[in-house]
Chains A and B, each alone.
Chain A
Amino acid sequence: MKRGWILILTLALSLTACGGSKNSGAELTVFAAASLQETLTEIGENYQREHPGVTLVFNFDSSGTLKTQIEEGADCDIFISAGQKQMNQLDAAAASAVNADAPDETAEDSLNFIASNTRFNLLENKVALVVPEGNPAGIQNFGGLKTALEAGDVLLAMGNEDVPVGQYTQKIFAYFGLDEAALNAAGVLTYGSNVKEVTTQVSEGTVDCGIIYGTDAFSAGLTVVDTATAEMCGQVIYPAAALKNSKSPEEAQAFLDYLRTPAAGAVLEAVGFTPLG
């Protein structure tokens, strides 16, 4: 019995030792918005094949959660957000010049995590209006959605204001003169905890329509009936940057540079992103 325990302990310890040992080379931790999971994983695999000395570790989640994690001291080399707001909140140098649409949050909130000189706009996404197969509520476009919402005829699934796509949805409401509080009172809105929830609810038809990113719609195979213009909600820009206290700043910069190459761009375009310079 005693021998057995010693054996188990030895095995456990050697396993943890295994996990720690690494050949010389950098490990980059990349925090990225959930909507980038598919594309970034593929890009990461390509990159690692070309640069065998580098290991990429990804953490995909909603931009708000990632921002909080970074604030709380998580070890991270690169942050790619689905909106300027979250990046601004970590960038001491955030000013209206750097970001196209500075939302309510001011630079007062920001803390000094981002290496501002590495920050750039990586790509553009579109906000899409999706419906279940067969479009049971007959929503044709955002204008039609406005009408239906005011009539109290539909159930719309959206993200809450903590996620970028939720903020964009709020902008669209404002553009169409819709009062979110009034819509809530009428019971025509349901807020998902994350994009996956919203896409599932739309594809199962438990809601009549949803507002998500074009890339999410593509990945989930949902029917897009309309895409928001820059007028409605501004441009959906995903910024990327390296973290100030990254342990491998050169490798981080190298990867950021790689993201701007045509090879990476092709992967991004394939799901509907628009790569920016």
Chain B
Amino acid sequence: MDWFPLYNSIRIAAVSTVLVFFLGVFAAQAIARAPRLVKGVLDVVLTLPLVLPPTVVGWLLLLALGPRRPLGSWFLEAFGLRLAMTWQSGVFAAVAVSFPLMYRTARGAFESFDQTLAQAGRTLGLSNFYIFWRVQMPVCRQGILAGTVLAFARALGEYGATSMLAGYTPGRTATVSTTVYQLWRTGQDALAFRWVLVNLGISAAVLLAVNLLERKEGRSWP
């Protein structure tokens, strides 16, 4: 069995989750403090990838990152980097579809964060940076962790946008999801099912790890 799809899926999901974590958390914090109208509009825009069919999301990404489009052509000229049809394109796709999950979960967690803790921190002389990372984030740990897990799971299972943006090139851009689809479509059900089990195995391992993390009482944020 060619294990490339597993390796590829994990690296894409891992990179994407790290990016989405920071993007989601920053966006949630920034937008929580925005005026109501701005907040409403941004909420809709940033949640859009969740509502759109993933293939459409992939197509929209292509309109931005394709070699004929402003961003894509600039990257090509400036760095000689192709943004589509590479495994990194899978990261773009995964980030686009999993970002809303992280963002909304983090926003929910932050909205229910007791602001007097932050106010107390400020009067004690703690910097806003310290308060955000060492008080707000640990206190909101449950929500942030939930959002991260959701984002990772979504990234791992991402198919439609990845297929459009990164294509299915065995050994180069194939992920577990696109591989399962192609195997199933060409009648190799047994092999496809084996990959499904692999996917389940990874998800189970991640969820188990997260549960163990949560069980540790009073662990402060690294």
- Answer yes or no: do A and B interact: yes
CB within 8 Å of B: which residues of A?
A: 64, 132-133, 155, 157, 160-163, 184-185, 187, 189-193, 196-197, 200-201, 204-207
* A155-B85, A162-B186 known; A204 vs B69 contact (CB < 8 Å): yes
Do A191 and B85 touch (CB < 8 A)? no
Do A190 and B68 touch (CB < 8 A)? no
Residue B167 is within 8 A (CB to CB) of chain A in the complex: yes
**Interface residues of B, count at CB 8 A:** 28
Do A190 and B187 touch (CB < 8 A)? no
Q: Of the listed stretches B28-36, B38-46, B59-67, B202-210, name the one at the interface; the rest are far from the partner chain.
A: B59-67
* A204-B68, A206-B84 known; A162 vs B167 contact (CB < 8 Å): no
Q: Interface of chain B, helix or strand or loop or mixed?
A: loop
Do A193 and B62 touch (CB < 8 A)? no
Residue B181 is within 8 A (CB to CB) of chain A in the complex: yes
Contact of B185 among A157, A162, A189 (CB under 8 A): A162
Q: Of the listed stretches B112-120, B122-130, B141-149, B170-178, name the one at the interface; the rest are far from the partner chain.
A: B170-178
Do A157 and B167 touch (CB < 8 A)? yes
* A190-B85, A190-B169, A197-B164 known; A206 vs B67 contact (CB < 8 Å): yes
B46 to chain A, nearest CB (A): 24
Contact of A190 among B55, B67, B173, B186 (CB under 8 A): B173
Residue B163 is within 8 A (CB to CB) of chain A in the complex: yes
Of all chain A residues, which has the CB nearest B73? Answer: A205
Report the separation of the CA atoms of residues A172 and B12 in the bound assembly, to the nearest whole angstrom.
Answer: 34
Q: Which residues of chain B are near A205, meaning CB under 8 Å?
A: 66-68
Residue B136 is within 8 A (CB to CB) of chain A in the complex: no
A-B interface pairs (CB < 8 A), number: 76
Q: Which residues of chain B are near A207, meaning CB under 8 Å?
A: 85, 167
* A162-B186, A162-B187, A206-B66 known; A200 vs B59 contact (CB < 8 Å): yes
Report the separation of the CA atoms of residues A189 and B171 in the bound assembly, to the nearest whole angstrom.
Answer: 10
Of all chain B residues, which has the CB nearest A65? Answer: B185
Cross-chain pairs A/B with CB under 8 angstroms, 26 sampled: A132-B68, A155-B85, A155-B167, A155-B169, A160-B185, A161-B186, A162-B187, A163-B185, A184-B169, A187-B170, A190-B85, A191-B168, A192-B167, A193-B55, A200-B164, A201-B62, A204-B62, A204-B69, A205-B66, A205-B67, A206-B62, A206-B66, A206-B84, A206-B85, A206-B167, A207-B167
Report the separation of the CA atoms of residues A185 and B163 in the bound assembly, to the nearest whole angstrom.
Answer: 19
* A185-B171, A190-B85 known; A204 vs B66 contact (CB < 8 Å): yes
Q: Which residues of chain A are near B170, meaning CB under 8 Å?
A: 184-185, 187, 189
CB within 8 Å of A: which residues of B?
A: 55, 59, 62-63, 66-69, 82, 84-85, 160, 163-165, 167-173, 178, 181-182, 185-187
Report the separation of the CA atoms of residues A132 and B68 in the bound assembly, to the nearest whole angstrom.
Answer: 10
Of all chain A residues, which has the CB nearest B89? Answer: A206
Do B163 and A193 touch (CB < 8 A)? yes
Do B66 and A187 touch (CB < 8 A)? no
Report the separation of the CA atoms of residues A204 and B172 in the bound assembly, to the nearest whole angstrom.
Answer: 20
A188 to chain B, nearest CB (A): 8
B6 to chain A, nearest CB (A): 17
Q: Which residues of chain B are near A160, meaning CB under 8 Å?
A: 182, 185-186
Q: Which residues of chain A are near B187, meaning CB under 8 Å?
A: 162
The 9 A-B pairs with the shortest beta carbon distances in the complex, nearest first, are A190-B167, A204-B66, A206-B84, A162-B185, A191-B168, A190-B169, A187-B172, A184-B170, A193-B163
Q: Which residues of chain A are near B168, meaning CB under 8 Å?
A: 190-193
Do A193 and B69 touch (CB < 8 A)? no
Report the separation of the CA atoms of residues A200 and B161 in the bound assembly, to the nearest whole angstrom.
Answer: 12
Report the separation of the CA atoms of residues A184 and B67 in the bound assembly, to the nearest whole angstrom.
Answer: 23
> Which among B169, B170, B172 has the highest number of chain A CB atoms within 10 Å?
B169
Q: Which residues of chain A are near B163, meaning CB under 8 Å?
A: 192-193, 197
Q: Which residues of chain A are near B167, meaning CB under 8 Å?
A: 155, 157, 190-192, 201, 206-207
A140 to chain B, nearest CB (A): 21
